[in-house]
Amino acid sequence: MARCNRIANTRAITHGGTFTRMVARKCARVRCEPVVSSARACAFALVLCLGSVHALAQQNSRQQMRGLDEQVQEIKSDVLSISAELSQLEEKLLYPSGTQVAIFIALAKGDQMRLDAVRLQVDGQLVAHHIYSFKELEALKKGGVQRIYVGNVATGSHQLEVIVDGKLEGGADFSRTERFTFRKEVKPKLVELTLAGPRSGNTPIALGEF
């Protein structure tokens, strides 16, 4: 852009010796600053700054969430550990070693019967009645052992009655009842009952003592 400055009151001498007033213009060139380019650069820098701040905030948020997750997992682990210790303490208080008896259920290896329910009676009193789910039966078939009952009995001899209900491979129902005698000593008594179908060739209800 050019800016013009007016120059006034200038006189010139003519050939006749008279003065003639002249008006002249002087134009000076003025450099224009790139205002628009500077504004764009500032805006771009501002956008970069905002992006960096946002990314940093997201990173901090992820780190905080990760830290919270770790704390929650630690708390859960502590709660489970405390719960297990409390259960053991409660069992010791409720079932002292001098009177404690525990009965476990297992299936004969390779037996294909479908176990539906087991009922236990100690000295003529019903102490346990368990109906088995599909997952529980699968666990027993894979060699798992279930603690079906834990309680207190006095030292000496006791009568145990076991009633087993189930289905054979063809779908037919069957029920079997057996009676055993076990002796309780001062130390804890552990009894294992191994169950088998009537067509497996194994003893339908076998008693094992520890």
Residue 205 clears pLDDT 80, i.e. is over it:
yes
Q: Give the end-to-end CA distance of the chain in Å, rounded to a whole number.
A: 109
**Three-state SS for 168?**
coil
Least confident of 9-13, 154-158, 184-188: 9-13
| pLDDT tens-digit series, residues 118-168 | 999 999 999 999 999 999 999 999 999 999 999 999 999 999 999 999 988
- Whether the predicted model's global pTM rises above the 0.85 cut: no
Local confidence band at 14 (pLDDT 50, 70, 90 cut-offs):
very low
Give the DSSP H/E element, type plus range, for residue 183: strand 173-184
Q: How far apart are CA 52 and CA 42, in angstroms?
A: 15
Q: Any bridge partners for residue 90, and if so which?
A: none
Q: Which residue has the higher pLDDT, 6 or 73?
A: 73
User: Are 164 and 195 spatial neighbours (Cβ–Cβ below 8 Å)?
Assistant: yes
Residues 6+ apart with CB under 8 A from 116: 131, 132, 165, 166, 167
What is the rounded average pLDDT for all residues in the chain?
Answer: 77
Distances (CA, A) of 133 to 66, 83, 189: 38, 25, 27
Q: How far apart are CA 147 and CA 124, in angstroms?
A: 20
Domains and CATH numbers, the chain: 100-209 (2.60.40)
Tens-digit pLDDT profile for residues 20-43:
455 444 444 545 455 455 666 666
- pLDDT score for 43: 61
pLDDT at residue number 40: 64
| Sheet of strand 173-184: strand arrangement | 125-131, 114-122, 156-167, 173-184
Tell me the longest C-alpha to C-alpha distance in the chain.
160
Residue 108 three-state SS: coil
Beta carbons of 205 and 176 less than 8 angstroms apart: yes
What are the two backbone dihedrals, phi and then psi, of residue 90, each rounded to the nearest 5 degrees?
-65, -40
For residues 165 and 114, is the Cβ–Cβ distance under 8 A?
no
Give the separation between CA 122 and CA 149, rounded to whole angstroms. Answer: 11
Residue 200 has a pLDDT of 72
